């Protein structure tokens, strides 16, 4: 079920009715929220609800087992059960087909061209990367002694499946969410209105900006997602302008699409009286790549830091071990996004950029006073954004051939020619949207959306929300308007 679908409006109205209007005890309302959450997930593909239930039950008993274990070996057994169950499901459904394809390619390369396995198609459950990471954080925290096992199975099941952030984040820690279930949650009028405002902002980002303004230009350059022959068209002669227009449009699209979902999720949860963590903080105003990852997909970067980078050794063990840990974390972070070599390359590029930044911090040029001035900071922001755009080509491209062709065109090796593949009726709105997005990120880089809105007054806020709602309502809808991160 999608936030921008008519069905969700009816669904959310029913949730609000049960949660805020019906005189039910708190336990019954939590049970109703759990039922609604399973219904929300079942709307995409009903059989995969079983995966949610399995993950919930296994990790519930694993945490109980770790807490009651009398030997370190038994505690490790229960943790291993949780890791095997969750990572096994994730590995099979998300990476099974990828592994089979690469095995077949390797066999063919050895000369056994007649080998073809049957039935290699595996349907990917929506949001599996999100809810497996979320529930794993709970069992790992219990194993480390950072959190006790939660006494209520109902509460834990609701934590795992809470519908606003179930399929595309933010990734919520149990220590942040479960305490909110100990007493009835109800949004006061101010928080309820702010939650509705966030939903309007999120839908505007997704429908009006990502889908209507930015998506057409990105698709014109890269080809529609999954379309055949896009790499061939690029290799045949896309020019400098086409490549940069498409890449800039995708940079804006991926932000507006994903941040739009996160903003809607936070707003929906707020209307129900729950608080979800911030997931984006104006990332295209980042000064450097470590700053970018403190602003982009914050819940994932925090998860990778606490449950992968630090256990690998983090900053301990000397310079080379630190760089190794950084590279491995980003490679696995890239693979988390998708079962494709291009995602691994995207993560590797970010790891290389983080390593280069860490090395440059000790260089004399890093101590120049001009970097502390507004134009020095602006230059660093621009350089960071352009480098991030280069990495986005691997994220969006369907193959290395397409990514290489795009980078060749972006570098000017095909000549600096006017756009021919991307029509200016499409490129103009996309570039205007990117320019506006970058301006907002730069001006609001030191604050949050809520803090920024606090100084506007309800008159300006109301006018802005009305305009956003109208733009969303009348924006043209593409045939496939699914949130991009649903595939992860």
Residue-wise pLDDT for 23-81, tens only, equals: 999 999 999 999 999 999 998 778 889 999 999 999 999 999 998 887 889 999 999 99
Q: Which residues contact 229 (CB under 8 A, 6 or more apart)?
A: 223
Rounded distance between C-alpha atoms, residue 163 and residue 38, angstroms: 8
Which residue, 339, 346, 341, 330, is CA-closest to 395? 346
The helix or strand, by DSSP H or E, that contains position 240, with its residue range, turns out to be: helix 240-271
Peptide bond into 170 cis (omega under 30): yes
pLDDT score of 3 more than 90: no
- pLDDT score at 276: 95
pLDDT tens for 322-378 read 888 999 999 999 998 888 899 999 999 999 999 988 887 776 666 556 666 767 788
- pLDDT score at 228: 46
Could you tell me how many helices (H) and strands (E) the chain has, helices first?
21, 0
Residue with structure tokens 């930015």? Answer: 214
Distant-in-sequence contacts of 113-116, Cβ < 8 A, 24+ apart:
none
pLDDT score of 230 more than 80: no
Q: Which residues of 169-208 are buried (b: 16+ CB within 10 A; e: fewer)?
A: bbbbbbeebbebbeeebebeeeebbbbbbbbbbbbbbbbb
Residue with structure tokens 């390593």? Answer: 355
Q: Tell me the angle at which helices 424-443 and 240-271 cross, rounded to the nearest 10 degrees.
A: 50
Do 114 and 29 contact (CB within 8 A), yes or no?
Answer: no
Rounded distance between C-alpha atoms, residue 271 and residue 190, angstroms: 10
Structure-token pair, residue 334: 């890239």
Which residue, 247, 274, 57, 284, is CA-closest to 154? 57
Rounded distance between C-alpha atoms, residue 221 and residue 241, angstroms: 10
How would residue 289 be classed by pLDDT, with cut points 50, 70 and 90? Answer: very high
pLDDT tens for 271-288 read 999 999 999 999 999 999
Rounded distance between C-alpha atoms, residue 403 and residue 396, angstroms: 8
pLDDT tens for 194-218 read 899 999 999 999 999 999 999 999 9
How would residue 93 be classed by pLDDT, with cut points 50, 70 and 90? Answer: confident
Rounded distance between C-alpha atoms, residue 242 and residue 217, angstroms: 9
- pLDDT score at 181: 94
Rounded distance between C-alpha atoms, residue 191 and residue 184, angstroms: 15
Rounded distance between C-alpha atoms, residue 113 and residue 102, angstroms: 14
pLDDT tens for 238-266 read 788 888 999 999 999 999 999 999 999 99
Which residue, 139, 269, 116, 265, is CA-closest to 205? 265
Structure-token pair, residue 161: 């499946």
Do 191 and 273 contact (CB within 8 A), yes or no?
Answer: yes
> pTM to 2 decimals?
0.91
The helix or strand, by DSSP H or E, that contains position 441, with its residue range, turns out to be: helix 424-443
Q: Among 4, 19, 297, 337, which one carries the catalytic annotation?
A: 337
Q: CA 192, 201, 5: angle at the middle one, nearest 5?
A: 90
Average pLDDT of the chain to the nearest whole number: 86
**Annotated catalytic residue 337:** yes
Secondary-structure breakdown of the chain: helix, strand, coil percentages, each rounded to the nearest 5: 75, 0, 25
């Amino acid at each position: 079920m999608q936030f921008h679908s008519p069905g969700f409006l009816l669904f959310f109205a029913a949730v609000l009715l049960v949660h805020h209007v019906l005189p039910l005890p708190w336990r019954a309302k939590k049970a109703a929220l759990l039922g609604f959450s399973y219904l929300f997930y079942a709307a995409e593909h009903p059989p995969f609800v079983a995966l949610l239930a399995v993950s919930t039950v296994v990790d519930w008993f694993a945490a109980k087992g770790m807490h009651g274990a009398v030997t370190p070996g038994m505690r490790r057994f229960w943790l291993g059960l949780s890791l095997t169950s969750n990572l096994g499901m994730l590995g099979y459904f998300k990476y099974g087909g990828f592994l089979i394809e690469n095995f077949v390619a390797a066999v063919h390369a050895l000369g056994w061209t007649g080998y073809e396995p049957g039935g290699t198609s595996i349907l990917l459950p929506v949001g599996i990367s999100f809810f497996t990471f979320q529930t794993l954080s709970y069992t790992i925290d219990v194993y480390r002694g950072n959190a006790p096992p939660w006494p209520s199975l109902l509460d834990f099941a609701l934590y795992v499946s809470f519908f606003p952030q179930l399929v595309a984040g933010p990734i919520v820690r149990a220590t942040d969410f479960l305490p909110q279930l100990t007493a009835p949650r109800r949004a006061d009028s101010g928080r309820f209105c702010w939650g509705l405002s966030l939903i309007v902002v999120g839908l505007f980002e997704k429908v009006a900006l990502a889908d209507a303004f930015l998506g057409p230009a990105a698709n014109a350059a890269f080809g529609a997602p999954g379309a055949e022959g896009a790499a061939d068209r690029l290799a045949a002669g896309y020019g400098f302008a086409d490549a940069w227009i498409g890449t800039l449009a995708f940079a804006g699209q991926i932000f507006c699409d994903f941040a739009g979902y996160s903003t809607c999720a936070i707003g929906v949860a707020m209307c129900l009286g729950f608080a979800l963590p911030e997931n984006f903080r104006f990332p295209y105003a980042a000064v450097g790549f470590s700053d970018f990852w403190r602003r982009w997909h914050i819940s994932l970067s925090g998860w990778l830091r606490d449950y992968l980078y630090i256990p690998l050794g983090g900053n301990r063990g000397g310079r080379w071990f630190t760089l190794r840990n950084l590279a491995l974390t980003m490679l696995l972070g890239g693979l988390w996004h998708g079962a494709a070599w291009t995602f691994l390359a995207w993560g590797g590029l970010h790891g290389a950029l983080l390593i280069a930044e860490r090395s440059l911090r000790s260089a004399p040029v890093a101590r120049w006073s001009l970097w502390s001035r507004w134009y020095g900071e602006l230059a660093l922001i621009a350089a960071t954004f352009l480098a991030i755009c280069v990495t986005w080509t691997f994220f969006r491209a369907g193959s290395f051939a397409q990514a290489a062709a795009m980078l060749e065109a972006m570098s000017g090796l095909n000549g600096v020619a006017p756009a021919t593949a991307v029509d200016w009726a499409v490129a103009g709105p996309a570039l205007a949207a990117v320019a506006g997005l970058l301006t907002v990120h730069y001006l609001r880089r030191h604050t949050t959306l809520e803090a920024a809105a606090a100084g506007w007054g309800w008159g300006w806020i109301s006018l802005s929300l009305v305009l956003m709602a109208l733009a969303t309502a009348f924006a043209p809808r593409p045939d496939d308007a699914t949130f991009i991160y649903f595939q992860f």
